[in-house]
Amino acid sequence: MAVRDLDSLLSEPGVQGRRVFVRCDLNVPIKEGVIRDTTRIDASLPTLRKLTAAGARVIVSSHLGRPKGQRNEAMSLAPVAAVLAERLGCSVDFADDCVGASAETGAAGLADGQVLLLENLRFHAGETDNDEGFAERLASLADLYVNDAFGTAHRAHASTAGMVPHVAHAAAGDLLRGELAYLNRLFEPERPFLCLLGGAKVSDKLGVLEALIERADAIAVGGAMAYTFLAAEGEAVGGSLVEPDRFDDARRMRARAEEKGCRLLLPSDHIVAASVEAADASQTVSQIPDDALGFDIGPETADRYADEARAARTILWNGPMGMFEVSAFASGTEAVARAVAESEGLSVVGGGDSLAAVNQCGLGDRIDHLSTGGGASLEYVQGLTLPGVAALDAAAEGTS
């Protein structure tokens, strides 16, 4: 892959005095105007600091939420400007739109090393529609382009793909480049290669399951998606969430795993309750009764999965093992998180819930790579083309 990196852009053609459009992922949780988690802002800082230190005139853009092409003040990026300024240690101007007079005036008025944050890109339908005219308007604000938003790299949007052909030079920021470097290591992993996959539905992970069966030594399945596999094999799962229309897929993947020598691991015990509200009365069972639902893997399964993680040389984890946000159903996910952190192998964790679980356990600094893009990372490890990356690749080939 020929994607140009930020350092090459800094050296050739250079950025001092030039306007650089930086697509970040600043889609942070905001409640009543207060940012609840600054992780994504912090992740954007290395690239922005490099650019400002080199004298670039930095134009930062992002989406926030899903305003569906309409202006929604609850999804304004205005609160982000203050936090971004604090983190960068410099003033950050804010344009109340991402195109038009305010954006154009703000971009034209930048001095070397200054930063402008544009309003939410998705206030315009042209962003998600990848409208060429809208992409050209964004591109007209700057001389150079940097994509540092891996979390949206799997979207063919105006700011991630459409505007790239309309700028002179384009590059990947440090965050995006780092994501690709770690995820590329999963294509030729050091073995044993363990994948831990959780979440609610088999349908959400079908593609990645099929792809990883071809490469992994073992796939440990948790979360509600495990019940579809178990039910497909005729095991009692009580009232647990299942997808009957995916039973054939589950059996097919089981057979393919056996054919490829990939061990597909399923829970052998469960933490169950009559409902979420009855969590205080939860119990551990090997077979789920008809009047109960499974909410977490049981301790035997947690120990088995943890042993697999400690022995692995490469680990990919995406999706919690149970409803970890409820303390009675958190033990399985926490046990897996500790084992992944203790492993001496390469560990890559992606997906918002998995990251939240790792951070909830205070183990984030013991994971080799915390991926900022759950959906993007899953698509990438399947070998699918990410439009945002493909656009940078094409731009690099066009200037080589």
Cβ atoms within 10 A of the Cβ of 235, count? 13
Q: Which domains does the chain have, with CATH numbers?
A: 6-178+384-399 (3.40.50.1260), 188-381 (3.40.50.1260)
Closest of 17, 105, 25 to residue 60, by C-alpha = 25
pLDDT at 400: 45
Q: For residues 296 and 30, what is the distance between their CA atoms, to the nearest angstrom?
A: 29
pLDDT at 1: 54
Among residues 4, 18, 19, 40, the one annotated as catalytic is 40
Query: Which residues is 58 bridged to in the sheet?
Result: 20, 115
Among residues 133, 352, 362, 383, the one annotated as catalytic is 352
| Per-residue pLDDT tens over the stretch 189-216 | 999 999 999 988 999 999 999 999 999 9
Coil vs helix vs strand at 1: coil
Among residues 87, 201, 254, 304, the one annotated as catalytic is 201
- In the chain, the percentage of residues whose pLDDT exceeds 90 is 88
Active site residue 375: yes
| Per-residue pLDDT tens over the stretch 344-358 | 999 999 887 888 888
SS (H, E, C) 149-209: CHHHCCCCCHHHHHCHHHCCEEEECHHHHHHHHHHHCCCCCCCCEEEEECCCCHHHHHHHH
Q: What is the DSSP letter of 19?
A: E
Active site residue 40: yes
Segment 19-41 mean pLDDT: 91
Say if residue 46 is preceded by a cis peptide, omega within 30 of 0: no
Q: What is the mean pLDDT of the chain?
A: 95
Cα-based distances in Å from 130 to 59, 120, 236, 390: 19, 15, 47, 15
pLDDT at 224: 95
Q: Is the pLDDT of residue 230 over 70?
A: yes
Q: What is the DSSP letter of 300?
A: H
- Phi then psi for residue 168, to 5 deg, are -70, -40
- In the chain, the percentage of residues whose pLDDT exceeds 70 is 99
Q: Which residue has the tokens 């178990």?
A: 230
Classify residue 291 as exposed, middle or buried by CB count within 10 Å of its CB (0-12, 13-18, 19+). Answer: exposed
Band of pLDDT at residue 37, cut at 50, 70 and 90: confident
Do the beta carbons of residue 176 and residue 202 sit within 8 Å?
no
| Per-residue pLDDT tens over the stretch 67-106 | 999 999 999 999 999 999 999 999 999 999 999 999 999 9
